Structure 1
Amino acid sequence: MFQQGFKHKKVFWSIALLLGAAVILIPTLVVIIKRSKYNHDQTISSVTKRNADNYQSNSDYYQSLTNVHDFSQTDNLRLDRLSSPRFHPINGKSVIYLRRQYHTPDFCGSTTTLHWLDLETNKNVQLTRPIWGKHDSQFFWIDNTTILFLSNRASSDLTQIFQLTLPIDLLEETTSFLEPIQITNYSLNIDNLLVNRQASRLAFSCQVYPNLTIQETFAQQTTKKKSGRSVYQFDKLFIRHWDEYMTGPRHHPFLVLIERQSNGIFRFSSEPIDVLFNIDSDSPTRPFGDAKTQWSFSANGNSFAYTRQYDETSAVAWSTNLDIYTVDLNTPGQRSVCITCDNLAADTDPSYSPIDNNVLIYRSQSKPGYEADQFKIKLYNGSNSKKTLLDDWDRSIQAVTWSVDGQSLFLELGEEARNVLYYLSNLFTNQSLTRLINSGTSHDVNVHPMNSQMFVFTHQSFVEPINIYLYSSDGSMRSLTDHNKALLAQVKMSPMAETFSFSGARGDKVWGWHMPPSSGTDKRAPLAFLIHGGPQNSWYDEWGYRWNFQTYASQGYAVIAINFHGSDSYGQNFTDSIIGQYGSLPFEDLQLGLTYALKKFPYIDPNRAVAMGASYGGYMVYWIAGHPEMSHRFKTLISHNGVFDTRAKGYSTEELWFTEHDIGGYTPWENPAAYERYNPLKHVANWTQPMLIILGAHDYRVPDTQGISAFNALQRRGIESRLVYFPTENHWIVNPLNSIAWYEQVQGWMHKWTN
């Protein structure tokens, strides 16, 4: 015990010393002196103007169909995906949003375009030309007629900054697509964009070598390609992260002044400044950080806040520490100041008050090394004074949006497997918390510029794909979009999904979902028993493009999905309960939940059940396989990128903090027994049921050797099994054609064993 405690103290002080060094080496703003040969302030007017000669919307395609058919993954992927609704910045009478479409009917491409919607007439205008392979993103509505956004419409195919000028009367003057003007022409992709309220400054990110400019990075990469050599060298972690090898370039934020020229087109009026020059770190953070959540300009646009992690040492692989830095832009060469370095857990998502330059809020965790720890809201007032809001509330905040008057907050959070919205009013006086929306899943709140009680947002559920919604002052909400109306009219889906609860492990209340087959419950139906990943996640009431309940219900399956111990959205204590209990409490919940569901829904045929899951769900499939009291309840098992050997994963995964924390706070060599306690590998001798294993070659979270090892065991034991390998996919299946192949394999295997 003493030796273990001593080791933990050594680790703590090592991390503390590293953090101290990081504070001393606070990044200094470095002006990029060397001008790119692709001049950043040269306006490019000749962008690609070709249109897809075979463009067809899903509405056009489905209106041509005459017969209603069962919903499938093919239909699912043809759905338009809507995101990022934003009000007109002055009067709020219209909305712009993004629409992503796939080439219909064969998925040979996709495109993302900007759309404008008039709230008074509900008339919709597609602003930018749909071109297969071209994607608009991260737009900012500057004033009545100006939008700045990112797009790869450049003739170089690189993502750059573009400007779109709207006619005064869109409904009267727009007869064709608007052609954007290219603002930048760098030799690297621009990955993120943020514009301040005054449109006097913007921030963008490129992946550069820490001590090189954009052009120098491009030159070095070109030289490496020409060398003909392909070799990586590593002296620290990460070696790889999520689905990419960490070969040197970092996401660095660049700050630059902008001005409008006499012709109305914006240009850079200063040299971009690399905020993290000479710092081997990312902002936004990898793999999923973005500028919208991790960067913020102050109300007057003269201060900038950003989130960064500490990639400079190998500790990045076992530390979840993120910090927020601010920089005063009024003084050239001003150094960044860390405002959260007193906390060794994650601090992220800074957001300045819209009215007070000294006030910002951010999300903060308190447990180092625990990525599923509760996120609370911190309020920082500029004098290093911090206040925790709703400190006694047992909810983890996912996103925060200011009201226009800077006195209230809109909160997005998980609550009983729904992503709900709350309103925290009177932030600085007598706080009051009101739940606004308690059904489905809501994201991406954008508040009306003149009315803080009105906002647009995205909304979805198990039975409705994503739409743009308007929430009005009277508490009502209505959908503003119907791009998928024709498609949904031609498919047959299950009309409902319902929750049920039962007494699970420890006698705790545990919740689950039931979706009946689209054909109804008049006859016996096979069962798709779905096990979610995470494990600190939930089956949320949301539409899915990878795992979608409707794709099974439309094939005649009943769907049962249990949110077992460890699931989020049921309070932090319930989430934390899985620590050190991977194969116990959740396993018991699944056993009890299956028994309860079969009794509550007697139309389900218990002799035609399939258990399937991904990631932790795939781990649980392997664990079930080794325990006959549960495995024999299923005709077959399906594991997607699941953990087969917990001890081996402790050495081979990239985010070491994840495994070490969930196992109980140990490395594999400190406590080997903890890694073996719930190791599926130990129970292979009990495996009997047929199994389908699916792997992605670029999955570095759960390396493919985990599934290959399991398949070796199945084949060696003579158990009927199949391995499906996707050489270009990661932990997920992203490519739409591969997604269709995935469903063909999975549902074909299910039908084989349940018919």
Structure 2
Amino acid sequence: MTIRATMFTPQVLLSAPRRSAGVPNATGTHVLYTTSTYSFETHKKTTELRCLDVSTNESTLITDEDGISEPVWLSDDPALFAVLRSGKASTTDVLVVNLIEGWDSAYVAGHIAAPASSLKIKALDEGKYAVALAAKASPDGSLFNPEKATKTQSTGRLYKQLFVRHWDEYASKERNAIWYGTLSQGQEGRYGMSGLRNSLKGTGLESPIPPFGGADHFDVGSSGIIFVAKDPQLNPALNSKCNLYLIRLSSFDGDETPKPYEYHLPGFHGASASPVFSPDGQKAAFLSMKTGGYESDKNQIFVIPEVRKNHVVHMMSNKDGSGTWDRSPQAIDITVLKDNSIFVTGSTLVEYSFYSIISHSSTGTATTKWTHSSSKDGSSLGLKPSQVSSIWFPASDPSVNKEVHAWVTKPSNFSASKKYPLAMLIHGGPQGSWADSWSTRWNPAVFAEQGYIVVAPNPTGSTGYGQAFTDAIRRDWGGAPYQDIVNCFEHVSKHMPEVEVSRAVMLGASYGGYMANWIQGHDLGRKFAALVCHDGIFSTTGLLATEELYFPFYDLGGTPWSALPDAQRSDRKYDTPIRAAALAQETFGQSSMEAWARNDPSRFLDQWQTPQLVIHSSKDYRLPISEGLAAFNVLQARGVESQFLTFPDENHWVLKPENSLLWHKVVLNWINRFVGLPAFAAEDDEEGGGVEFFGGERKAEKEVVDMVGMGKPET
């Protein structure tokens, strides 16, 4: 379990065990968790189920059997827990295990004839538990097993409404559903699971919500099942509205499932999320957004004081419904132990996983009683907390926020007597942020250990600095955020003498990729030696090929075919399919058509001249691969040094370990070459990693540019 690294490299990053969220027992004496580790020697992933003794910090292996996931405690005395095991033919078993007796005591309590996940268990009576989990359902409401699905002779699909595809899959007739039943103790002392019922059969509802919904989209309590689902009356590609529903169950063994009750929140047209029951199952809480079509609106907290009644309380409310707390909680997932202390799972920029138990007093004072760090605060990875610091610099719009924050990560062997090249990382979203948390895809320490000082700004549009700051990016993707990044670069130039800004590179993904293309066409682009654009936006009109159309419709202030701001539109019948984009819209004095054009990176192609690596994968349906190909085609046709990296089996992210290692090799080789650092990997090493190279290191043919009447490219 312990790894030691003298230098933090991509191999170390991707080989480090990935530890799940901790699952403590009620008294907080033991913590169950899983780890997955990928070996680049065997090219295989291994998974372990482990238990951590809080009193000794000793971790014990329970099993390394494949397919084990999602442990849930049943009781402390005896120490019993349940766990899922994926089996052959896409089936799932629910196992019950005695912790003291070990894995040899494991037995199958229930069998599910389909892939299943998001196991939740709630104690009912002595020796009886409610069980709920997620699995796909066929159109008739039965369990769907992909290996038993009827095969068709044709591969064609005819669609008559959106979605056609979502994230990295084409839409199918199967839907996620919440299945429930009971786990009861028999005469021999063993537990057995009842048959499972589809709680959503015939409702037209889907939960968990694709593509990322899981256990955070529903909860089970003694009084029933609470969950969120997309509003069935609205097209999910054009609307973000998610409703909260409750299925009141007097018994989890009943023959019929009551119809879900929908909670109505006047004035709230956005997404509801994170429903949870109180420990006694008699109360519930959840989050909801006010603005339809805006997935980054502020989450506000709601409480249901009595689930037997339909009354909902809006916490910290005010007259206009904006709420008095100017922050946006992401989830209500607090794990409270028997003594009312809180169990926390977290990470930092140098630590990939820690567990803590925190006590709190009536005065609000919090004290950390216990903590366990996977890598000893990064030391086993060759990292240390002192590498990470922050800077603040003037904001482009002081009426919203006067200053903007950025994280700074320095090499572990940093010396104040030396100068280092700059790597500026721009986050995606655009309503996202760089936080003090671990990442296996964009990890600042990987770049710092190559010899860079890494600066990761949180410009206008970033979350965590007040909702007004987040909202200010709307219709202004290339405005205030770009100027914030310019201000950040200038601040580093003036106040960080250890940074040699004449050797600077910029990298970004998604919105960060958009910003790479935007910077390429503006003055700041001439100050970077090289750029990296991962899954970026080449043209705003390309967003019309995305799946969740409500996102650009809201973020850019309306549809690109509207000559007036949506707030001024009178043809409401025509506007009905995009009503979410029209809700609560301000009058900007410009058409949404103008906003789409004003923020389009492709307007400035005549300025593109900085060397750029473009990365875009085939299964990216959020921003289709044509966006990356268009950027690369322009760079090549203009004679700008450029490369194009693609993965046919990856989506908006690069997740497969071997692909991710190659991604790091190509990216680091690219940026290192332009700032005078040694290559990270030899080219033949990249070939050995499975990449195929096409073409040499030559400029694009200028004669080709002339032939198509574009004129000679700038050099």
Out of 130, 135, 138, the position equivalent to 1:201 is 130
Cα distance in 1 for partners of 2:369, 2:444 equals 25
Question: Contact conserved, 1:139 with 1:150, CA < 8 A, in 2?
Answer: no
Query: Is 1:69 the counterpart of 2:6 in the alignment?
Result: yes
Cα distance in 2 for partners of 1:107, 1:735 equals 15
Cα distance in 1 for partners of 2:426, 2:381 equals 30
Cα distance in 2 for partners of 1:208, 1:84 equals 28
Cα distance in 1 for partners of 2:441, 2:297 equals 26
Unaligned runs of at least 5 residues, structure 2 = 318-323, 564-591, 677-715
Out of 268, 289, 293, the position equivalent to 1:365 is 289
Cα distance in 2 for partners of 1:656, 1:600 equals 42
Out of 130, 137, 147, the position equivalent to 2:70 is 137
Question: Contact conserved, 1:162 with 1:183, CA < 8 A, in 2?
Answer: yes
Shift of 1:485: 4.9
Question: Contact conserved, 1:150 with 1:193, CA < 8 A, in 2?
Answer: yes
Out of 293, 312, 315, the position equivalent to 1:389 is 315
Out of 505, 509, 534, the position equivalent to 1:640 is 534
Query: Is 1:579 the counterpart of 2:477 in the alignment?
Result: no
Shift of 1:378: 0.6
The alpha-carbon distance between structure 1 residues 339 and 93, as it changes in their structure 2 partners (threshold 3 A), is closer
* Correspondence list, 1:607-686, <5 A: 607-627=502-522, 629-649=523-543, 651-668=544-561, 671-686=592-607
The alpha-carbon distance between structure 1 residues 479 and 715, as it changes in their structure 2 partners (threshold 3 A), is farther
**What amino acid does structure 1 have at the position aligned with 2:84?**
L
Question: Contact conserved, 2:298 with 2:328, CA < 8 A, in 1?
Answer: yes
Cα distance in 1 for partners of 2:445, 2:21 equals 25
Shift of 1:119: 2.4
Unaligned runs of at least 5 residues, structure 1 = 1-56, 168-172, 402-444
Q: Deviations over 1:128-147 (max 9, x none)?
A: x214x534125343443221
Question: Contact conserved, 1:494 with 1:550, CA < 8 A, in 2?
Answer: no
Q: Deviations over 1:551-583 (max 9, x none)?
A: 011010001111101101000000000001000
Q: Secondary structure at the match of 2:406?
A: strand
Shift of 1:369: 0.9
Cα distance in 2 for partners of 1:493, 1:607 equals 28
**What amino acid does structure 2 have at the position aligned with 1:294?**
H
Aligned residue number for residue 299 of structure 2: 375
Out of 287, 297, 318, the position equivalent to 2:220 is 297
**What amino acid does structure 2 have at the position aligned with 1:188?**
A
Cα distance in 1 for partners of 2:196, 2:69 equals 23
**What amino acid does structure 2 have at the position aligned with 1:296?**
D
Q: Secondary structure at the match of 1:70?
A: coil
TM-score by length of 2: 0.83
Out of 224, 245, 256, the position equivalent to 2:170 is 245
**What amino acid does structure 2 have at the position aligned with 1:278?**
G
Shift of 1:595: 0.4
Out of 684, 695, 704, the position equivalent to 2:616 is 695
Question: Contact conserved, 2:47 with 2:67, CA < 8 A, in 1?
Answer: yes
Query: Is 1:554 the counterpart of 2:449 in the alignment?
Result: yes
Aligned residue number for residue 497 of structure 1: 388
TM-score by length of 1: 0.79
**What amino acid does structure 1 have at the position aligned with 2:137?**
V
* Correspondence list, 1:714-729, <5 A: 714-729=635-650
The alpha-carbon distance between structure 1 residues 702 and 256, as it changes in their structure 2 partners (threshold 3 A), is same
Aligned residue number for residue 397 of structure 2: 506
Cα distance in 1 for partners of 2:149, 2:315 equals 52
The alpha-carbon distance between structure 1 residues 544 and 577, as it changes in their structure 2 partners (threshold 3 A), is same
* Correspondence list, 1:165-184, <5 A: 165-167=98-100, 177-178=103-104, 180-184=106-110
The alpha-carbon distance between structure 1 residues 398 and 482, as it changes in their structure 2 partners (threshold 3 A), is closer
Aligned residue number for residue 693 of structure 2: none
**What amino acid does structure 2 have at the position aligned with 1:496?**
Q
Cα distance in 2 for partners of 1:355, 1:191 equals 24
* Correspondence list, 1:420-431, <5 A: none
**What amino acid does structure 1 have at the position aligned with 2:349?**
F
The alpha-carbon distance between structure 1 residues 721 and 135, as it changes in their structure 2 partners (threshold 3 A), is farther
Shift of 1:256: 1.3
Shift of 1:157: 5.6
Shift of 1:253: 1.0
Aligned residue number for residue 279 of structure 2: 354
Aligned residue number for residue 156 of structure 2: 231
The alpha-carbon distance between structure 1 residues 107 and 551, as it changes in their structure 2 partners (threshold 3 A), is farther
Q: Deviations over 1:245-286 (max 9, x none)?
A: 1111111111213311223332233x4221211344421111
Shift of 1:110: 2.3
Q: Secondary structure at the match of 2:468?
A: helix
* Correspondence list, 1:139-288, <5 A: 139-144=72-77, 145-152=79-86, 154-156=87-89, 158-167=91-100, 177-178=103-104, 180-198=106-124, 199-214=128-143, 217-218=144-145, 222=148, 224-225=150-151, 227-269=152-194, 271-288=195-212
Shift of 1:150: 1.6
Matched residue count: 623
Out of 337, 346, 355, the position equivalent to 1:448 is 337
Q: Deviations over 1:112-171 (max 9, x none)?
A: 3332222233333222x214x53412534344322112222x34463332221222xxxx
Out of 34, 44, 51, the position equivalent to 1:116 is 51
Question: Contact conserved, 1:512 with 1:560, CA < 8 A, in 2?
Answer: yes
Query: Is 1:742 the counterpart of 2:663 in the alignment?
Result: yes
Aligned residue number for residue 85 of structure 1: 22
Q: Deviations over 1:347-368 (max 9, x none)?
A: 22221222362x2111011111
Q: Secondary structure at the match of 1:586?
A: helix
Aligned residue number for residue 458 of structure 1: 345
Question: Contact conserved, 2:68 with 2:83, CA < 8 A, in 1?
Answer: no
Shift of 1:744: 0.2
Shift of 1:223: 5.2
Shift of 1:754: 0.8
Question: Contact conserved, 2:460 with 2:484, CA < 8 A, in 1?
Answer: yes
